[in-house]
Amino acid sequence: MQAEFLVNLKPMKRILLLIACAISTTDIYAQDTPNQIHVHTRIIDFPDIPGYLTLACDLHIHTAFSDGYVWPNIRVQEGVKDGLDAIAITDHIEYRPHIDDIPFPDANRSYQIAVEEAIDQDILIINGTEMTRSMPPGHANAVFLNDVNALILKDSMAQFEAAKAQSAFVFWNHPSWIGQRSDGIATLLPIHEELIAKGQLQGIEVVTEHVYSNEALQIALDNDLTIMSTSDIHGLIDWDYNIADGGHRPATLVFAHEKSVASLHDALINKRTVALFEDMLIGRAEYLNPLLEAILTVEKAVFIEDTEIAKITLVNNSSVNFILINNSEFTLHEHTEVVTIGHHETVDLKVKTIERVEQLELIFTVMNALTAPKTHPTLRFSIIIDK
């Protein structure tokens, strides 16, 4: 069962998983140099789902060319360290506070520097920009641009049109940002409805930086928008997301046919995403459910000798920690109804089946996942017990 699962993984993920399995502990001890051992992995690591590769992406990133504090090459290095498959450089068009120190005559320059840095790296670099307006429409990112300069326009609506002319994927940024919504409630306004109707606004950030918005998730579901999660990083990922202590940045998990810019674009347009926010996974059931099924797998199921207690070995094939609530007809011998399973961890569930059954069904509510506001998905395991 494990061997079958490993076949579908990318080489890097396969190696990491083998390390995890080999040492059978709750953490990966990745050794960077002979004298240095890290207890935590910072790699954002998720299995593929049937029919698609799972690409971890951060498509909202600033550099010193707008109001960020680092050079674009550092953004690439951070992305590689985090195991990301793609990043977009999205410096503001209208807000460039460092312009006197860092001239920016070509608005594609920060992207170009990132591309040069990524030449020998396994990470896709996407060209983009943040269109930076007061509300409405507020801020929006246009990504997959060929030429950011063409979006340097006074009129906001003309900017969205120019993005569409380049077949960009455009998403509404931080719609609940209290700088523009003092109540913190993401609210769809007529101008957004117009942009959506014209096919000029295709996604929405449900997570930005350290903020999650229930209302933005509902807007995404009601208006058929792509669910996005981004860091909107200005400083350093390591500092803002507490990497040394096991944290990670928000990311959008994108389900693509292959790891290419064109395939990523296609997946985003077609709303094949799940948002990652701390340990939460947020997305449409259509993609979140197969992802959960790929993440949590039963490795082994046997009866403990001379008992009617089945030992079910559950594996977490991901970099997030899970909280499950047992809704099965059976109770557990060593757990309350709450079962936690750490990243890359294996847990034995001792299920009191009363009789020595040949198969059983375990049903869990996944508390660290959302398919809609306040709606947690259910995960069912149909388990055949080894004789």
Q: In the complex with Zn ion, which residue's Cβ is closer, 58 or 232?
A: 232
Site for Zn ion in 180-199 (CB under 5 A): none
Bin 278: left if φ > 0, else alpha if -120 < ψ < 50, else beta: left
Residue 43: which of 70, 3, 14, 65 has the closest Cα? 14
Q: Please name the residue that has the structure tokens 């429409």.
A: 137
Q: In the complex with Zn ion, which residue's Cβ is closer, 108 or 289?
A: 108
Residue 24, C-beta contacts closer than 8 angstroms, at least 6 positions apart: 346
Measure the CA–CA gap between 299 and 280, rounded to whole angstroms.
Answer: 24
Q: What is the 3-state secondary structure (H, E, C) of 61-104?
A: ECCCCCCCCCCHHHHHHHHHHCCCCEEEECCECCCCCCCCCCCC
Beta strand pairing call for 203-208 and 211-212: antiparallel
281: which 2 tokens? 């996974």
Nearest approach, Cβ of residue 96 and Zn ion (Å): 13
Q: Does 232 bind Zn ion (CB under 5 A)?
A: yes
3-state secondary structure of 41: coil
Nearest approach, Cβ of residue 170 and Zn ion (Å): 14
State the DSSP code for 117. H
Q: Does 91 bind Zn ion (CB under 5 A)?
A: no
Tell me, by CB under 5 A, how many residues bind Zn ion.
Answer: 2
Q: Which stretch binds Zn ion (CB under 5 A): 212-220, 223-231, 232-240, 289-297?
A: 232-240
Q: In the complex with Zn ion, which residue's Cβ is closer, 210 or 380?
A: 210
Q: In the complex with Zn ion, which residue's Cβ is closer, 139 or 344?
A: 139
Q: In the complex with Zn ion, which residue's Cβ is closer, 85 or 232?
A: 232
As to burial, measured by CB atoms within 10 angstroms (0-12 exposed, 13-18 middle, 19+ buried), residue 320 is buried
Q: Which stretch binds Zn ion (CB under 5 A): 113-121, 182-190, 230-238, 326-334?
A: 230-238
Q: In the complex with Zn ion, which residue's Cβ is closer, 232 or 345?
A: 232
Nearest approach, Cβ of residue 275 and Zn ion (Å): 16
Measure the CA–CA gap between 207 and 196, rounded to whole angstroms.
Answer: 20
Q: In the complex with Zn ion, which residue's Cβ is closer, 48 or 130?
A: 130
Site for Zn ion in 267-286 (CB under 5 A): none
Site for Zn ion in 117-176 (CB under 5 A): 130
Q: Does 58 bind Zn ion (CB under 5 A)?
A: no
Site for Zn ion in 308-327 (CB under 5 A): none
Catalog residues that contact Zn ion under the rule CB under 5 A: 130, 232
